[in-house]
Chain A
Amino acid sequence: MTSRIKLRTLVLCLLPATMLAQDVSSRLAAVEAAAKSAQSAGDNAWMLVSAALVLMMTGPGLALFYGGLVRRKNVLGTMMQSFILMAVVTVIWALVGYSLAFGGSGPFLGDLRFALLNNVGSAPNPDYAGTIPQQTFMVYQLMFAIITPALISGAFAERMKFSAMLLFMTLWSLVVYFPMAHMVWGKGGLLNAALGGTVPCFDFAGGTVVHITSGVSALVCALYLGKRLGYPATATKPHNLVISFIGACLLWVGWFGFNAGSALAASPLATSAFVATHFGAAAAALGWVAAEWLVTGKPSVLGGISGCVAGLVAITPASGFVKPFPALLIGLTAGVVCYGMVTVVKKRFGYDDALDAFGVHGAGGTLGALLTGVFATSQVNDNFKDSAGRTLPLGLVDGHPGQVLNQLAGCAIAWTLAIVGTLIILWVCDRLIGLRVRQEDEIEGLDYSMHGEEGYIFEQ
């Protein structure tokens, strides 16, 4: 009797303790799950906003920036070239683009595992971004694939057939952009510093992938298509710097999504990239304006906005690797160098890079990619570890001068791919469709000859 009572008391005493232990562990699991879901929610919110910001860079940002720089008769044709890529590249991306860039783990190109966006859903892809739905990552990267070819259109502005442009951009995405994006950002890509590349090249947000490929291809286009009729004797001055100004400022704001978003999380690294981006743009605007003021005697608005874009380009590869002061330095250098590119170098060689896509993106992108090798530091980005888990030194300032050579190799590959790929594609498009509009259409302007409209109608 007594032993039974004792046993019962014992059971009664122990019961709450086991229940308590179970309760603690299940509560802990619940807290962990809640924390994880909160992080996911935060990261996903930031990445969706970033994706929207990057799309805003193309339309209206780049469309306004470029649209204002051409003559009045070409404003719609120029804006349309940016706008239509928002649609065309989106479809290509859904069919094969995302998969070719981010499926598989080959050194040069992805595979077709994500073709038709198969298996790209709400589950994260831990290779790239473990806290956000893969669909968020996919749509964010899409916005980069849109703006990159749009940048090229500045070089052949005012003289390329719309149909030829569509074919060119489609082929260019397949031949140049997707391979380059895979090489630098895709798992196992040749230049991927984080996921097993043999030539680790630091490119945080697209110095090689976006700006070198587009800028160098732009130069090839300008040379292949030849100069606009009458260039440079006839005036081809910008018809509306006000809309260019609005466009450039939208680019500046959108670039926060481009660079800080490339952290792929709402993390301190995103903040650091945000700061570096802003500082780079500011210093470059000052650099360009100061250089121009010294040379021509007047600080121009076009100089200011061109400078900020040059700085944003140059800081792009470096943004997730450098501290604020090196960012200022990179921006300042880019402002002055790009000013020299579009004034001295362009005049010297006489190519008609109409809106300076090469002078700003090709030159600024190369400069930024190389300077990333100089100023990258593990104090900003400690995601790179050796096999023992120790943080690796990144750039020259960390005592790793070899990184500059890696960056040089990355630039060389991007330049080569852009030159060879673009030449072949241009040749194909020229054979199939013909690249340039008819002479009378060029004189009439693309707005009417290609689209049957005019940009400014102020009738009652």
Chain B
Amino acid sequence: MKKIEAIIQPFKLDEVKEALKAIGIDGMTISDVRGHGRQKGHKEVYRGQEYNVDLLPKIKLEMVVPGDRYEEVVRALSAAARTGKIGDGKIFVYDVAEAVRIRNDDRGDAAL
């Protein structure tokens, strides 16, 4: 099993969800996060006082998929989230030791 963690542009969330649904992935957890990589923030001005906002709003998307499917998922996710501009985000993939479905104690791929 692999855990896929993607940081994406908030406005890309719907497209990403559609793309994942299209390849049969429908479980995911989403959080509102703030951060930046190479993208420098922007400047806001309130009554002449300038503030550099370098931590920009992003969406963090987490899901765990069977080990043989992660390449496909990463490709779909990456394609859907891409604008080609700086700030599109990143995808990280981790190995997962175990998964448990709390409801009935299913283990491994069956729990996904």
Contacts and interface: CB of A to CB of B under 8 A. Distances in A.
* A in complex with B: yes
Contacts of B48: 295-296, 339, 342-344, 346-347
Considering residues B47, B48, B49, which has the most beta carbons from chain A within 10 angstroms of its beta carbon?
A: B47
Contacts of A238: 46
Contacts, number: 27
Nearest to B46: A237
Interface stretch (A46-54, A94-102, A298-306): A298-306
B99 to A, nearest CB: 27
A300 to B, nearest CB: 7
Contacts of B49: 232, 236-237
B44 interface: yes
Interface of chain B, main secondary structure: strand
B51 interface: yes
A374 B4 CA distance: 71
B47 A298 contact: no
A329 B31 CA distance: 51
A232 B48 CA distance: 12
B83 to A, nearest CB: 24
Interface in B4-58: 44-49, 51
B51 A300 contact: no
A442 interface: no
B22 to A, nearest CB: 32
Contacts of A237: 44, 46, 49, 51
A356 interface: yes
A237 B48 CA distance: 11
A1 interface: no
Contacts of B44: 237
B47 A343 contact: yes
Contacts of A296: 45, 48
A298 B51 CA distance: 14
A303 B47 contact: yes
Interface in A285-330: 295-296, 298, 300, 302-303, 306
A218 to B, nearest CB: 15
A236 B46 CA distance: 10
Contacts of B45: 296, 298, 300
A235 interface: yes
A238 B44 CA distance: 11
Contacts of A342: 47-48
A298 B45 CA distance: 9
A94 to B, nearest CB: 38
Nearest to B47: A342
A306 B47 contact: yes
Contacts of A339: 48
A347 B44 CA distance: 17
Nearest to A347: B48
A298 B47 CA distance: 11
A344 B47 CA distance: 10
Nearest to B50: A296
A245 to B, nearest CB: 13
A356 B48 CA distance: 12
Contacts of A235: 51
Interface in B33-88: 44-49, 51
A77 B49 CA distance: 23
B51 A302 contact: no
Interface string A211-236: 00000000000000000000010011
A295 B48 CA distance: 9
Contacts of A306: 47
Contacts of A347: 48
A270 B44 CA distance: 41
Interface string A334-359: 00000100111011000000001000
A344 B48 CA distance: 8
A296 B45 CA distance: 8
A138 B46 CA distance: 39
Contacts of B51: 235, 237
B71 to A, nearest CB: 38
A232 B52 CA distance: 13
A148 to B, nearest CB: 22
A356 B47 CA distance: 9
A74 to B, nearest CB: 15
Contacts of A302: 46-47
Contacts of B47: 302-303, 306, 342-343, 356
Nearest to A340: B48
A295 B44 CA distance: 14
A380 B48 CA distance: 38
Nearest to A236: B49
25 contacts: A232-B49, A235-B51, A236-B49, A237-B44, A237-B46, A237-B51, A238-B46, A295-B48, A296-B45, A298-B45, A300-B45, A300-B46, A302-B46, A302-B47, A303-B47, A306-B47, A339-B48, A342-B47, A342-B48, A343-B47, A343-B48, A344-B48, A346-B48, A347-B48, A356-B47
Interface of B: 44-49, 51
Q: Which 3 residue pairs spanning A and B have beta carbons closest together?
A: A343-B48, A342-B47, A235-B51
Given A295-B48, A302-B47, A342-B47, 8 more contacts: A232-B49, A238-B46, A300-B46, A302-B46, A339-B48, A343-B47, A344-B48, A347-B48
